[in-house]
């Protein structure tokens, strides 16, 4: 595959792109509700994800003041607990932090390490500051810098989140490559002038026929090879 040229900095989405968010949340739900079968775990996961998506959209529309991911995840955990009949506050509190214990995809740690030898690599995540710190430590993701959307008091794809990365890096956005498994994220980055690369994951938000991203890859290894080939 031909080398990707004229890229100075690589910026990665984290949730879903570098870590398996759905699998980690399922594990947290199973731990909290050990008697649950696959169907119940799936239902509870849908409730969790639906709440998070709804609240992020309400914040984006100005219908709610910004609340970071720890707050929103805590609300989601309470909804799951209510539906599952959980009452133990210790169990519910641990469930609320399930999003900080997400496993990396098989190629994430090694791919990031390879890429970091050649480029500054940044994480740009909707996870709050504290949650992102703990998530990176748990998954073994080692960035040159990890940026939380909390610093912009917004959630992707709000333009101020991408501007946060642009301002931090200090180079023209067209020399920054945004990597994500979510088309909505790449659309936001493209609107901010960044170059875009979609990486396929088993779960995510795949591009539509109308999306015109710069590159598409089947996995992270393909992207790293394209960026580092001579």
Q: What is the pLDDT of residues 43-74, one digit of tens each?
A: 999 999 999 999 999 999 999 999 999 999 99
Q: What is the mean pLDDT of the chain?
A: 96
Residue with tokens 């917004």: 154
Percent of the chain with pLDDT over 70: 98
Token pair of 229 as six digits: 């080939």
pLDDT digits (tens, 9 = 90+) for 118-133: 999 999 999 999 999 9
Decide if pLDDT at 86 tops 90: yes
Residue 5, pLDDT score: 74
Decide if pLDDT at 137 tops 80: yes
Rounded mean pLDDT, 79-92: 96
Decide if pLDDT at 167 tops 90: yes
Residue 2, pLDDT score: 44
pLDDT digits (tens, 9 = 90+) for 189-211: 999 999 999 999 998 799 999 99
Residue 3, pLDDT score: 52
Q: Rounded to the nearest 5°, which phi and psi values hold at 5?
A: -105, 165
pLDDT digits (tens, 9 = 90+) for 105-122: 999 999 999 999 999 999
Tell me the pLDDT band of 91, cut-offs 50, 70 and 90: very high
To the nearest 10°, the Cα dihedral for 47, 50, 52, 54? Answer: -140
To the nearest 10°, the Cα dihedral for 120, 123, 129, 131? Answer: -130
CA terminus-to-terminus distance, the chain: 11
Residue 187, pLDDT score: 98
d(CA 32, CA 26): 10
Tell me the pLDDT band of 1, cut-offs 50, 70 and 90: very low
Decide if pLDDT at 230 tops 70: no
d(CA 102, CA 214): 29
């Amino acid at each position: 595959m031909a080398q990707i040229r004229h890229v100075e900095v690589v910026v990665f989405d984290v949730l879903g792109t570098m870590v398996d968010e759905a699998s980690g949340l399922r594990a947290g739900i199973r731990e909290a509700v050990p008697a649950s079968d696959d169907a119940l775990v799936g239902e509870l996961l849908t409730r969790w994800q639906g709440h998070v998506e709804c609240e992020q959209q309400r914040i984006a529309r100005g219908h709610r003041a910004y609340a970071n991911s720890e707050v929103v995840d805590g609300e989601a955990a309470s909804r799951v607990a209510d539906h599952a009949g959980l009452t133990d506050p210790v169990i519910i509190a641990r469930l609320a932090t399930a999003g900080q214990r997400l496993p990396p995809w098989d190629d994430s740690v090694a791919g990031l390490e390879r890429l970091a030898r050649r480029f500054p690599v940044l994480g740009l995540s909707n996870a709050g500051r504290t949650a992102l710190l703990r998530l990176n430590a748990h998954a073994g993701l080692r960035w040159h810098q990890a940026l939380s959307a909390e610093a912009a008091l917004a959630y992707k794809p709000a333009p101020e989140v991408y501007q946060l990365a642009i301002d931090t890096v200090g180079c023209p956005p067209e020399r920054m490559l945004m990597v994500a498994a979510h088309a909505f994220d790449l659309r936001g980055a493209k609107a901010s002038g960044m170059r875009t690369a979609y990486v396929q994951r088993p779960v995510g938000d795949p591009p539509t026929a109308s999306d015109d991203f710069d590159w598409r890859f089947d996995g992270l290894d393909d992207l790293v090879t394209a960026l580092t080939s001579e």
